[in-house]
Amino acid sequence: MFPLNPPIHDWAGQRVWVIGASSGIGAALAVEALQAGARVALSARRAERLQAVADDHPHALIAPFDILDKQAWSERHDHICQHFGGVDLIVFCAADYHPERAWDIEPDRAAHTLETNLGSVYTGLATVLPAMLARGSGGIAIVASVAGYFGLPNASVYGPSKAALINLAELLYVDLRPRGLSVYLINPGFVQTPLTAKNEFAMPALQTPQAAARAIRNGIASGRFEIHFPRRFTLALKLVRWLPYRLRFPLISRLVST
């Protein structure tokens, strides 16, 4: 079957902007791209952590800012374009997560999670899309999660925010692919990050950030729309997703109780 996006085999010279590059998947993906020859702008709030990721990589550009600061997006984008001449691929990888059941929800914390995981992506899209559309090329990569496949306990705010990102990536593909842009939906399973370190339950098929970064790079090289991994875990969740509710709900409840 033909790929849904043009495959990218050669990363040399690619201009990549990674949002959330100070740790976890974002940091590992930034290093993966740099080692493949890309020029990479690394963004997150903490400049010192970005510098630690960028050390010994001459094609790295530190571009720290708070993604909840709407004004800062255009300033950072202009700064990156001055150095790189543009952005070929932006990766939205920043996220906020608190394990919480329905009765643990706090309005202010929920609003912060939604603004970080979802609202900031809209601000970023409004920032980068005009230039990409003007030249008829570019790529948007959105890191969602298998937690967005269906409702899971302990992800009362995080899960819905990731489900929204899945929906957003799908509609972006329909809108943007005919205009020359690529869209990638990235749905990881459990990855060893500061966010998953908050979990107090056993995480099946837990992967390292480096393994996740390789899976993402391979998925982009193959031109996939949805890049999900590890497949032995994500394919099982996709099967659960297709179950009727009267079968799915008891199964999820049983897994939670164990």
Q: Which residues contact 52 (CB under 8 A, 6 or more apart)?
A: none
User: What region, left, alpha or beta, does residue 121 occupy, with left being phi > 0 and alpha being psi -120 to 50 degrees?
Assistant: alpha
Amino acid at 231: R
Instruction: Please indicate whether residue 184 is annotated as part of the active site.
Output: no
Amino acid at 159: G
Residues in the chain: 258
Residue of 158, 173, 184, 245 marked catalytic:
158
Q: What is the largest CA-CA distance in the chain?
A: 55
Query: Is the CB of residue 85 less than 8 Å from the CB of residue 135?
Result: no
Residues 196-218, buried b or exposed e (16+ Cβ, 10 A)?
beeeeeeeeeebebbbbbbbbbe
Give the Cα separation of 249 and 246 in Å (integer). Answer: 6
Give the Cα separation of 182 and 4 in Å (integer). Answer: 8
Amino acid at 59: H
Residues designated catalytic: 158
